[in-house]
């Protein structure tokens, strides 16, 4: 039987996080330092996404979630938002065949019904086409906000006639993607050290890794370094 990246890393004694989440920060600053428009930085960020998805698959990560567009990002300049929407259209459409070939499954978290109609259709098509895949689960958080997710979950629970007060198990059923594991490791690039409304419920016991590297410069070696740091930590979940 052929040895997999997961087999090799387990043999080396490193712990593999099941779910790695990334707050991809620094595209604008990357462009500004080079005298480019912000949208150039977002294009460079897409290339970093491609590198990181391949690396995550090679390293044996089962779920990779990426904070692509927050519910607050609509406040950015109109031309930047328009450009980002165009990038989403291009990336999702162009990468589906490659993800299928690699056995990856693509899913989305966020208020998808708040996106342009054609992007909503692209999202649905991508999820349907890759639904049966058993490899890397790629979760793209699009028009996502952690507080809004909790509000939506509680409102859906109430509409479904759930008895209040809710317990954790019941509330979880109404999250955007209730079946995915909570993030073991959350990585944030660009030197900022905050969650920015990302996976608020799911991050209760996540480990965090911060790097000064701007997202367009992030690569496989940086992901491996983050996993190495995670491997050396002992997760206690509130115990002594």
Active-site annotation holder among 25, 57, 184, 222: 25
Q: Establish whether 143 is a catalytic residue.
A: no
Residue 152 half-sphere exposure, CB side, CA atoms within 13 Å?
Answer: 18
Helix (H, G, I), strand (E, B) or coil at 142: strand
> Cis (ω within 30 of 0) for the bond into 165?
yes
Helix (H, G, I), strand (E, B) or coil at 199: coil
Check residue 191 and give left, alpha or beta (phi > 0: left; psi -120 to 50: alpha): left
Active-site annotation holder among 14, 58, 73, 217: 73
Place of tokens 């639904």: 131
Which two structure tokens, joined as six digits, stand for 68? 């692509």
Q: Establish whether 25 is a catalytic residue.
A: yes
Q: Which helix (H) or strand (E) holds 109?
A: strand 105-109
Taking the C-alpha atoms of residue 130 and residue 152, their distance in angstroms, rounded to an integer, is 26
Q: Are 18 and 62 in contact (CB under 8 A)?
A: yes
* Residue positions annotated with a catalytic role: 25, 73
């Amino acid at each position: 039987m052929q040895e997999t990246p997961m087999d090799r890393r387990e043999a080396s004694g490193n712990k593999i996080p099941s779910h790695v989440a990334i707050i991809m920060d620094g595209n604008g600053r990357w462009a500004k330092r080079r005298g480019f428009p912000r949208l150039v930085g977002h294009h460079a960020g897409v290339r970093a996404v491609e590198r990181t998805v391949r690396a995550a698959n090679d390293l044996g990560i089962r779920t990779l979630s990426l904070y692509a567009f927050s519910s607050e990002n609509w406040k950015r300049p109109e031309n930047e938002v328009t450009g980002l929407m165009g990038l989403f259209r291009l990336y999702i459409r162009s990468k589906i065949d490659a993800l299928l070939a690699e056995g990856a499954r693509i899913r989305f978290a966020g208020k998808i019904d708040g996106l342009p109609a054609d992007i909503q259709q692209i999202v649905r098509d991508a999820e349907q086409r890759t639904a049966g895949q058993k490899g890397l689960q790629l979760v793209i958080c699009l028009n996502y906000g952690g507080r809004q997710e909790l509000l939506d979950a509680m409102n859906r629970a109430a509409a479904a006639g759930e008895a209040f007060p809710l317990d954790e198990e019941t509330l979880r059923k109404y999250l955007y993607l209730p079946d995915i594991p909570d993030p073991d490791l959350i990585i944030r690039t660009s030197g900022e050290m905050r969650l920015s409304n990302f996976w608020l419920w799911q991050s209760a016991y996540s480990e965090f890794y911060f790097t000064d590297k701007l997202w367009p410069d992030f690569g496989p070696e940086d992901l491996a370094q983050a996993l190495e740091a995670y491997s050396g930590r002992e997760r206690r979940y509130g115990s002594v």
